[in-house]
Structure 1
């Protein structure tokens, strides 16, 4: 593990496991979590011969709690500086939720030769908020509600979200994992309230349409049909239509946090795509 100091002085924390000459995979976490949310996938891909890297987004986890930069342009620029510092070539980039948006925004701007393939899972593109251009989106009131709950009692909010819709633990037949709930809370509370508050705008209002159109590399779009955080119909199918080389993989009945609740299902699919 280490840190990269980016141009505005923010320190980006990262984990880097495996042989330096192996195929690199960079994992991009969701809001308001950290690189620790990828433990299962990092161990899985490490065992399959990859070099695995996961960073904490600025204001999240162990990275600097910066006063500014909590928007997609800066997030993508931070990733570019990390890739440059580690001299990553032909890297695979895997993102969940907000991290999926970060992947799309970065890959659309990455220097030639830096990116080989990408995977986005339960990801926020093309755009989440409802508008005339996106009539199937979620009303702005939903995101205002997230901001209100965060500001009022972040600690309780970060219990309620994973206990309920994030992992689908509010469904009648759900197999509840207290460990996942506690780990979600732990990761969330490590980060900065200002960063998390501002990131809600970044993940909900950023329009990734043009980014998706620009991407040339193969992209696997994975999404659970029972995603209560990023609704399936307004996300994955629309993203695939915009990508030049996109593949859609839908998971019937799986929740937003399916990478944690069903890694035995999704990990082999990622591996097959990345090895193809």
Structure 2
């Protein structure tokens, strides 16, 4: 089982596939999701000649769960440790949900020297709704900021299982490997601490600062925020663009993998140096 060890001595598990000499694409999953959730992307990327690396963030999948480091700052440092540990250059970082904001944490701390492009999958750079940013988590504002994520991720009542249909739900079950691992609906203290820290961040300045191409992907039927977060985030940086996938939810890469993969591969080709 391949691992890298972080600067605070935590072992992070990762998998590799595709061409060892191809451009590296690093897949970073979201909250409570493992590297296996990229099942629909790994084959497509490998088939296109990329070196595909999917890793489990600390406290996720097969990586270690330490007592400390359950912050977005540390998760960003972990991404940097992976890039350095594998000596990756011109890497494409693809982050789903919270994994996307771990990328902004990394670039804000360490820059983009090893990064060639960034893809953010259905993640707003600012969770808190304010007058200048109405694209945050539904109903999360100053009046609910202390209670919204106190016990986990609240149900927004949007994009129900029935509305998704059997095919999309089946893809989610497979990608999350629910039959083998189950999917805990409880939250550890470390997970709650990470979720709270994630919800309080504002990464708009980090988005504006990066000097590499960025693609923001949104699911039109995202459970968590308006899909307009993607074009709004892209407007922060002249190197950024966005795409909204119809009949797609928060897990945009899972529910509509063919459409997502087409957008991803087109962006990767355009961003090649």
- TM-score scaled by length of structure 2: 0.85
- Alignment match, 1:148: 151
Rate the CA distance shift 1:215–1:65 in 2: closer, same or farther, 3 A.
Answer: same
Deviation at residue 11 of structure 1 after TM alignment? 1.0
Q: Aligned to 2:163, which of 160, 166, 171?
A: 171
Instruction: Name 1:153's counterpart in structure 2.
Output: none
Whether 1:219 and 2:218 are equivalent positions in the alignment is: no
Tell me, yes or no, if structure 1 residue 232 matches structure 2 residue 246.
no
Inter-CA distance 183–271: structure 2 relative to 1 (3 Å threshold): closer
Work out which of the residue numbers 246, 251, 257 in structure 2 matches 1:252: 246
For 1:241, the equivalent position in structure 2 comes to 235
Report deviation, 1:105. 2.3
Per-residue Cα deviation, 1:180-214 (whole angstroms, up to 9, x for no partner): 23753437549972332122113321110111111
Question: Where do 5+ consecutive residues of structure 2 fail to align?
Answer: none
How far did 1:267 drift?
Answer: 0.1
Instruction: Give the whole-Å Cα distance in 1 for the aligned partners of 2:267 and 2:221.
Output: 23
1:180 to 172, 177, 188: 172
How far is the alpha carbon of 1:173 from its aligned partner? 5.3
- Residue 28 of structure 1 and its aligned partner are, at CA, apart by 0.8
- Does the 8 Å contact 1:46/1:52 carry over to 2? yes
Partner of 1:49: 49
Q: 1:236 to 1:106 in 2, by over 3 A?
A: same
Q: Is the 8 A contact 1:34 1:187 kept in 2?
A: no
Matched, 1:139 2:140: yes
Give every structure 1 segment of 4 or more consecutive aligned residues whose post-TM-superposition deviation is greater than 6 Å: none
CA distances 1:73-128 after superposition (whole Å, capped 9, x unpaired): 11111111111010000011111111111122223444553011111110131x11
**Greater mean alpha carbon deviation, residues 86-95 or residues 179-188:** 179-188
Quote the Cα distance in structure 1 between the aligned partners of 2:252 and 2:116: 24
Whichever structure has more helix as a proportion of its residues is: 1
* Count of residue pairs the alignment pairs up: 263
Q: Secondary structure of the residue that 2:53 maps to in structure 1?
A: strand
Structure 1 residues without counterparts, runs of 5 or longer:
151-156
* Aligned match of 2:265: 271
Is contact 1:60-1:188 (8 Å) kept?
Answer: no
Q: Against the structure 1 CA distance between its residues 246 and 66, is the aligned structure 2 distance closer, same or farther, given a 3 Å change threshold?
A: same
Distance 2:200 2:56 in 1: 22
Structure 1 residue 149, shift from structure 2 partner = 5.1
Partner of 1:71: 71
How large is the Cα RMSD of the aligned pairs?
2.8
1:25-40 correspondence to structure 2 within 5 Å: 25-40=25-40
TM-score normalised by L of structure 1? 0.84
Q: 1:203 to 1:111 in 2, by over 3 A?
A: closer
CA distance in 1, matches of 2:81, 2:61: 18
The answer for the alignment partner of 1:128 in structure 2 is 127
